[in-house]
Structure 1
């Protein structure tokens, strides 16, 4: 029982411990992690970042309350990641016993990459991260059916999850052991590429038809940064380095903890390299090694050679996903998890069993403040009733037209959410298109700020209208942009309505004002 279910139970325990207060009543809302009550199923606008993840959540929420769906997904991430890493360790060390498998499971379900991406709210990306071990095993086996099933979590996650998976799966398919010559390699790559391509269609088709633009300035804004005393490269090697300092685990920069993580990373890399030189190395080792190196190089490019991704994005907006290079460290995290299993197996052979078993706890001891919702950075909140009322009014109107969400800022810090910064919930609540300001201003330290232009042409046009003289009426211009409703929070009603002659306020609440044009 322990050998079969132990890694999954350990992953679930890691999830409960890491999420902590985020498992309480209500929704966990932080940065890009936005779940809303009764989410509608609707087609995306602009670049399809939340496709098909939003649609899947909406379908599940029609059966189970949305807040339960969120908690199940978050706990499932940890469980799937841990059990997959343990299965990969079993491939690497068939007779290694349960300790190496549990060590790999603990490392993959409790590290800086997972913690930082969770704290920035990228749960959809983490679906791909959680399924990555299973996808690697399936790609190494060369069976398209198994690979399709293994990639389903990434397919639900959407573009970032699938790009990270493709970076890992295709080298594994190309370099898997067994020989067969160039024709067999090509056939394996084509099968893997076909599976990846088909599962990417839900986001790839709208992306190719989107008029969204990518700003090369985003490379500097989202480049990896140091989150400890060992610089950017040291942070990346220890699986950290996210660009947003508010997504860093509390106390992560402490020298003792940073040193422990870097030593653990070095030992894991050494274990992974050792795994590659044994005669019976697993079939997935060469491909995973190549993917790990490629992912680290992509991350380093943003920090140390930003001209390369800037030039690529300037040439074609399709290279826009390269701007957040630290995302692609995921296969390196999986390689380290396999290396940790090798180290744990060596400890098991040379030390008493209790000492070797203690290796399972090392990842948690190296990042202890990830526990309890990163010491309170994750929590829950209930939407005020006025949000539900506005949602009912707008979604109950059959007339076409978009909703314009104000104030003109993508992220908000609501008092009812404990002051935690979160993407505007209006982007998820309504069955009609929502126009919002997808431009970003990112501070880089020393008072310097980088402005990343909006991707949506309509958002850029409406932003210019809102920035115009206060005496200029907006009603006609907004109607020409296809806007039917304006949802405004925290504005002076009389002053704002003076810019919308002929408009009708249809709801007034303590926080929200809904206006129909």
Structure 2
């Protein structure tokens, strides 16, 4: 047992590359680098993520705010409690507001966006079983640059992507064990809110339920348990494995529930409803020539056609993404096969053993289960919409599964780890090549290693090159006109109670000063008071026509009825509903009644002086 712990401690030590051997011997490893080299290798995935983030965002890193669909950042965001309706921006808006008290709002947004790429790349690399830098960079590049991340970024869902970026760290913490470690790893998802936490819960609970338990008391002289690295297999399995898994699942569930309270409590108290019609609106759609299933396997298939990367639907791009998915699945399966000793019993000499036949990493089964479940959920909206509608009609809490494509995040992480595994096999080469000690063969092997690592690392960028430079201009930084800031000052300075009604009566806007890009109504985030807006959605269909998804906020229905009344009665009804201000951003001045407080070419603020 002492020998096994000593060997395991080498596998688990950060930066370890497994067993060593004489140079030129079968299974030999390169000499260990110095301390500076180890630190550089450890930081390399994060640096790569930062570079990929800068390349992807491009003009979005300039002065101003990046505004697109759900990505709405505003100047001087108020610190406010959740309003009515489902709390989709909780607690993400509050966290942004708090950070904006110490940093410029624009800097907060750009730091978050770049942090998503850095966190995703470094986390994926941390899960790679190999200690070699090449496979770790391959996983980092793929997880930080893929169709899933690109589409969700173009849809503006930065809060979701914050949780997706932290997903590898959450899986690692669930496999390694430790309550504090898991809490810290789940902070990005907790900030992201309900979607990020639901995706993380799927992977964390599956990993906690299937990962082998590490022995709590290592023999004297062995490495401490905290030095374990879950990407390299378990040190030793506790004899109370089943009880340990059950305890870990319970602890993980309590942690997930506790971190979800900021959005869970407002959701339960909001009285928000979920329209089953949203299943058809948000069902995955084909964004390439291989249909819905082919799009999902390539990590695409989002419901919004405007959230696709330019050229993503071409035969070449879609085909290569499917090939990469197949290679990644093969590589992930190889991780499992490496845990089995070769037929001749000489463990660690199998040319496919990669890292000495240590065994599959302890997160392998959990990640496979979470990825499979996520892919299944994504397929339901397209292939079994009636089932999803029935679930939502039974309980509105099933609403998050209607946008099934977002649950592909664990599948994207699986592909990243699998691609790194396949890259590791290519780098290792055949057994015969590894057994030759000749200097010429060594130099050739190093050249091939560098070439393969570079090719696999660059592959995700070459497959989706148009994500670069803000998806060719789809992401850009702009500033709010002075009228918006003036209206914000007026409304926030008024201490009288009452809500603000935002018109025109729709969920999204497209302003000239924002390049015509569609964004969610920024008025919902500008003011300290309650903002009433129409959260009803109209989603176009590929063949024409539109699907109407009913509003979730009960107050919206009553306000909509008031807006259909005649001019005099409309103002009185709105005042009785608690409306003090009406903000119009169309420039058409369709609302009549009340006192105009501010007006310019695009925006008008009206105060209703009738008693509520």
Q: TM-score range by the shorter chain?
A: over 0.9
TM-score by length of 1: 0.97
Indicate the residue corresponding to 1:394 in structure 2.
491
Task: State the shift of 1:391 in Å.
Answer: 0.1
Measured against aligned partners, the alpha-carbon deviations of 1:284-339 in whole angstroms (never above 9, x if no partner) come to: 10100000000000000011001111111111111111110011100000011100
Q: Establish whether residue 141 from structure 1 lines up as the match of residue 237 from structure 2.
A: no
Which deviates more, 160-169 or 175-184? Answer: 175-184
2:56 pairs with 1:18: yes
Aligned position for 1:383: 480
C-alpha distance in 1 between matches for 2:417 and 2:241:
27
Corresponding residue for 1:288? 367
1:53-82 alpha-carbon deviations (Å, 9 max, x no partner): 000000000111111100000000000000
User: Which residue of structure 1 lines up, in the alignment, with residue 580 of structure 2?
Assistant: 484
Q: Quick one: structure 1 residues 447 and 5, their matched pair in 2 at CA, closer, same or farther if it must change by over 3 Å?
A: same
Alignment map for 1:14-163 (pairs within 5 Å): 14-45=52-83, 46-89=85-128, 92-93=129-130, 95=131, 97-163=132-198
1:291-440 alignment to 2 at 5 Å?
291-350=370-429, 352-357=448-453, 358-440=455-537
Partner of 2:548: 451
Query: Which ranges of 4 or more aligned residues in structure 1 deviate by more than 4 Å?
Result: 469-472
TM-score (norm 2): 0.82
1:225-244 deviation per Cα after TM superposition (whole angstroms, max 9, x unaligned):
11111111001001111000
Mapped to 1, the partners of 2:387 and 2:61 lie a distance apart of 42
The Cα shift of 1:257 comes to 1.0
Q: CA deviation at 1:182?
A: 3.1
Q: 2:245 is matched with which residue: 185, 210, 214?
A: 185
SS of structure 2 residue aligned to 1:412? strand
Secondary structure of the corresponding residue to residue 477 of structure 2: coil
1:246 counterpart residue number: 306
Deviation at 1:103, TM superposition (A): 0.3
Partner of 1:507: 598
CA distance in 1, matches of 2:392, 2:577: 28
SS state of the match for residue 66, structure 2?
A: coil
1:303 is paired with a residue whose SS is: helix
CA distance in structure 1 between the partners assigned to 2:388 and 2:588 by the alignment? 43
- Equivalences, count: 507
**Residue in 1 that maps onto 2:26:** none
Shift of 1:472: 5.4
Q: CA deviation at 1:492?
A: 3.7
Larger Rg: 2
Segment of structure 1 superposing worse, 307-316 or 156-165: 307-316
Give CA deviations for 1:99-128 in whole Å, capped at 9, x if unaligned: 000000000000000000000000000011
**CA distance in 2 between partners of 1:432 and 1:489 (Å):** 18
Shift of 1:144: 1.0
- Whole-angstrom CA distance in 1 between matches of 2:40 and 2:468: 24
Q: CA RMSD in A?
A: 1.1
Structure-1 residue corresponding to 2:230 = none
Deviations 1:375-413 (A, max 9, x none): 111011110000000000000001111100000011111
- How far apart are 1:504 and its partner, in Å? 1.1
- Give the structure 2 partner of residue 210 of structure 1: 270
Note if contact 2:294-2:322 (Cα within 8 Å) is conserved in structure 1: yes
Q: What residue number does 2:22 align with?
A: none
- Report the secondary structure of 1:506's partner residue: strand
SS of 1:432's partner is coil
What is the CA distance between 1:469 and its match in structure 2?
4.8
What SS does the corresponding residue of 1:485 show, helix, strand or coil?
strand
Match of 2:6 in 1: none
Aligned to 2:331: 271
Query: Hey, what does 2:228 align to over in structure 1?
Result: none
CA deviation string 1:7-40 (max 9, x = no partner): 0000000000000011011000000000000000
Secondary structure of the structure 1 residue equivalent to 2:480: coil
Task: Please state how far the C-alpha of 1:427 moved relative to its aligned partner.
Answer: 0.5
Q: Quick check: 301-310 or 172-181, which moved more?
A: 172-181
Partner of 2:356: none
